[in-house]
């Protein structure tokens, strides 16, 4: 049966880079596209940033390709990730030939738990001037992200698995996280190292080539993946996937970029590469490889958008990718 993909462009440059990525996907795979709205625009029209109709269709689809939302991002992305049953947020950071990267040796993938931790939303003001936050870490969510991380490393040929934590301070919660990782690694007979997350931030910058797959709790993964994006040439290039057992949400790491929205010059590479992750998730491995190779070739030879020093439009870049395909 043809896989169904829900397309949610959202706001700002999402409305430019998502159609460009859909054109690329359409050129390589037999997919059935459906469209839905989310974000600031639809909130202004309907009062809801994530209409129930969009949420339900994301659950029903085989995968969702999302652009970005503006100010309503948290009201859209968090519930959408939950709707697709996401157990892991996968954020590759790879330097591409021809792109001026801070650390050209970088090829790493941050795999982040993205359902709990300090993003569980349990905050309170317990007294005037005193606020609290409850950090939830469950054995189940920790096990799932560890399993996903080790499986990803094995499937994608990464020898090095690093687990970031701060169990020296957060003994109970990160202790639980590390216990879950240890159990999964023992089961799989897999090797890994553990590193304190603050020390890892320095070492990623100094020696990125020493790392492959980095498995982390929620907040640590959010911060480290943005750091990794900085090593490889910025937000126009970094894709992401939120994967569940039988569903997924694929989106560029960047937001709606209001400073350049409407000009037709946003870099579509991050969204096209998110589309490659979507293809892989649906089992179209060969098409995914072809899309990555075509993006790499265009990044190396141009045309390039202004964020990479060129003067090409979004469409000129996606057309060049399609031509390579
Ligand atoms: P941003 O990622 O939208 O932009 C940061 C910088 O990167 C800007 O200078 C922008 O021009 C540039 N940039 C981003 N994407 C680009 C692309 N494809 N090509 C070339 N340059 C690109 O982050 P910012 O400015 O912090 O947030 C803007 C809005 O986006 C806010 O309303 C924020 O809430 C929302 N946002 C939404 C996210 C989501 O929907 N997942 C994630 C991050 C921010
Ligand atoms: Mg972030």
Written as one string, the DSSP assignment of 73-142 is: HHHHHHHHHHHTT--EEEEEEE--TTS--SSTT-EEEEEE--SSBTTS--EEEEETTEEEE--B--HHHH
Do residues 175 and 138 lie in contact, with contact meaning Cβ atoms separated by under 8 Å?
no
Ligand nearest to C-alpha 114? 2
Query: Closest Cα to atom 42, ligand 1: which residue?
Result: 255
250 alpha carbon – ligand 1 mean position (Å): 16
What pLDDT, on the 0 to 100 scale, is given for residue 1? Answer: 78
211 alpha carbon – ligand 1 mean position (Å): 27
Catalytic residue check, 119: yes
Ligand nearest to C-alpha 89? 2
Q: Where are the beta strands (DSSP E) in the chain?
A: 3-10, 31-35, 63-68, 88-94, 107-112, 123-127, 130-133, 161-165, 193-196, 213-216, 239-243, 248-252
Do residues 187 and 87 lie in contact, with contact meaning Cβ atoms separated by under 8 Å?
no
Pocket of ligand 1 (CB under 6 A): 13, 17, 68-71, 73, 77, 235-236, 251, 254-260, 266-267, 270, 307
pTM for the structure as a whole: 0.93
Ligand nearest to C-alpha 77? 1
Which residue stretches of the chain have pLDDT < 70? none
Instruction: Classify 309 in phi/psi space as left (phi over 0), alpha (psi -120 to 50) or beta.
Output: left
What pLDDT, on the 0 to 100 scale, is given for residue 98? Answer: 87
Query: Closest Cα to atom 4, ligand 1: which residue?
Result: 257
Q: For residue range 35-87, what is the model confidence (pLDDT) as tens digits?
A: 999 999 999 999 999 999 999 999 999 999 999 999 999 899 989 998 998 99
Residue with tokens 């459906």, as numbered in its chain: 34
Report d(CA 135, CA 65) in Å as an integer. 30
Catalytic residue check, 222: yes
Report d(CA 191, CA 253) in Å as an integer. 29
What pLDDT, on the 0 to 100 scale, is given for residue 182? Answer: 98
Q: Which residues pair with 91 in a beta bridge?
A: 110
Q: Which of 38, 75, 239, 256 to mutate to test ligand 1, by most ligand atoms within 8 A of the CB atom?
A: 256
Structure tokens at 29: 């795979």
Closest-lying ligand 1 atom to the alpha carbon of residue 68: 40
Structure tokens at 134: 């409850």
**What residues sit around ligand 2, an ion, with C-beta below 5 angstroms?**
222
What pLDDT, on the 0 to 100 scale, is given for residue 170? Answer: 97
Closest CA to 68 of 16, 20, 10, 15: 10
């Amino acid at each position: 049966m043809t896989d169904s993909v829900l397309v949610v462009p959202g706001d700002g440059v999402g409305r430019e880079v998502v159609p460009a990525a859909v054109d690329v996907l359409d050129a390589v795979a037999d997919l059935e596209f459906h469209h839905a709205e989310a974000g600031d625009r639809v909130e202004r029209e309907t009062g809801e940033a994530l209409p129930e109709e969009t949420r339900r269709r994301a659950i029903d689809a085989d995968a969702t390709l999302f652009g970005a939302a503006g100010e309503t991002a948290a009201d859209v992305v968090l519930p959408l990730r939950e709707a697709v049953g996401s157990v892991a947020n996968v954020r590759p950071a790879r330097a591409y030939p021809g792109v001026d990267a801070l650390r050209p040796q970088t090829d790493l993938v941050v795999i982040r738990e993205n359902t709990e931790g300090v993003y569980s939303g349990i905050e309170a003001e317990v007294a005037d001037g005193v606020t609290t936050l409850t950090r939830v870490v469950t054995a189940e969510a920790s096990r799932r992200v560890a399993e996903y991380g080790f499986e990803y490393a094995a499937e994608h040929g990464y020898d090095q698995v690093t687990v970031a934590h701060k169990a020296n301070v957060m003994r109970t919660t990160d202790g639980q996280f590390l216990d879950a990782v240890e159990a999964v690694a023992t089961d799989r007979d897999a090797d890994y190292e553990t590193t304190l997350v603050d020390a890892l931030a320095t070492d990623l910058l100094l020696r990125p080539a020493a790392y492959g797959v980095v498995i982390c709790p929620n907040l640590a993964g959010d911060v480290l993946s943005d750091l990794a994006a900085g090593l490889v040439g910025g937000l126009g290039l970094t894709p992401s996937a939120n994967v569940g057992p039988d569903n997924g949400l694929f989106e560029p790491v960047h937001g709606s970029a209001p400073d350049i929205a409407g000009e037709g010059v946003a870099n579509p590479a991050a969204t096209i590469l998110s589309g490659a992750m979507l293809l892989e998730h649906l089992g179209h491995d060969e098409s995914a490889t072809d899309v990555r190779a075509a993006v790499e070739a265009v990044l190396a030879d141009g045309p390039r958008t202004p964020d990479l020093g060129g003067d090409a439009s979004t469409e000129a870049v996606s057309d060049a990718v399609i031509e390579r395909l």
